[in-house]
């Protein structure tokens, strides 16, 4: 009887592969690591990452609204992952979470300084991403 119970329990746990993800938050000291299912959506992974970030009292303080953030994969760094995509489809286990850039309206009376700042910010995260990717590629 106990043997049958253990087999059923193993079969329930084997539904859906799990893997360890590592999410680097732009501006934070180190990555957040946790286990997710392959069929988990990107939005759910972002929610869990933000909760873990807050629980660990990391700096800078980010907030918890996932609509203010984007998740990038090193394989498609030019384009953010869609929130409804499955995390396992990306083929990556390492991700970068950063705030969405603020966009200025054309008809606004503000100066163009925020747009210049956004360009500098996006350039710095791209440089950081390229540097990080270079470190992950083996030299031989």
Give the 3-state secondary structure of residue 114.
helix
User: How far is 34 from 45, CA to CA, in rounded Å?
Assistant: 9
- Give the contacts of 73 (CB within 8 A, at least 6 positions apart): 81, 90, 91, 92, 94, 95
Q: Which of the 8 DSSP states describes residue 9?
A: H
Residue 118 lies in a domain: no
80 to 73, 76, 103, 112: CA distances (angstroms): 7, 8, 16, 25
| CATH number of the domain enclosing 98 | 3.10.20.90
**Token pair listed for 135:** 């470190």
Number of domains within the chain: 1
In this predicted model, what pLDDT tens digit does every residue of 98-125 receive, in sequence order?
888 776 555 444 444 344 444 444 456 6
Residue 127 lies in a domain: no
How do the pLDDT tens digits run along the chain, 140 residues long? 444 445 544 555 556 799 999 999 888 888 999 999 999 999 999 999 999 999 988 888 888 888 999 999 887 767 889 999 999 988 889 999 988 877 655 544 444 434 444 444 445 666 766 666 665 555 55
Yes or no: say if 62 and 25 are a contact pair by the CB < 8 Å rule. yes
Expressed as residue numbers, the domain containing 64 is 14-103
- By percentage, how much of the chain surpasses pLDDT 70? 62
Helix (H) or strand (E) holding 55: helix 42-55
Instruction: Flag whether the pTM goes above 0.85.
Output: no
């Amino acid at each position: 009887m106990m043997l049958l119970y253990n087999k059923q329990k193993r079969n329930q746990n084997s539904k859906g592969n799990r893997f360890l993800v590592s999410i680097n938050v732009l501006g934070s000291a180190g990555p957040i690591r946790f286990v997710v299912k392959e069929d988990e959506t990107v939005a759910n992974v972002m929610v869990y990452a933000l909760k873990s970030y807050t629980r660990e009292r990391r700096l800078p303080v980010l907030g918890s609204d996932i609509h203010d953030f984007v998740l990038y994969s090193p394989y498609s760094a030019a384009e953010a992952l869609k929130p409804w995509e499955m995390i396992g489809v990306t083929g990556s286990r390492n991700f970068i979470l950063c705030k969405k850039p603020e966009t200025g309206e054309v008809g606004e009376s503000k100066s163009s300084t925020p747009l210049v700042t956004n360009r500098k910010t996006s350039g710095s995260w791209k440089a950081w991403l390229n540097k990080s990717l270079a470190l992950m590629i083996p030299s031989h």
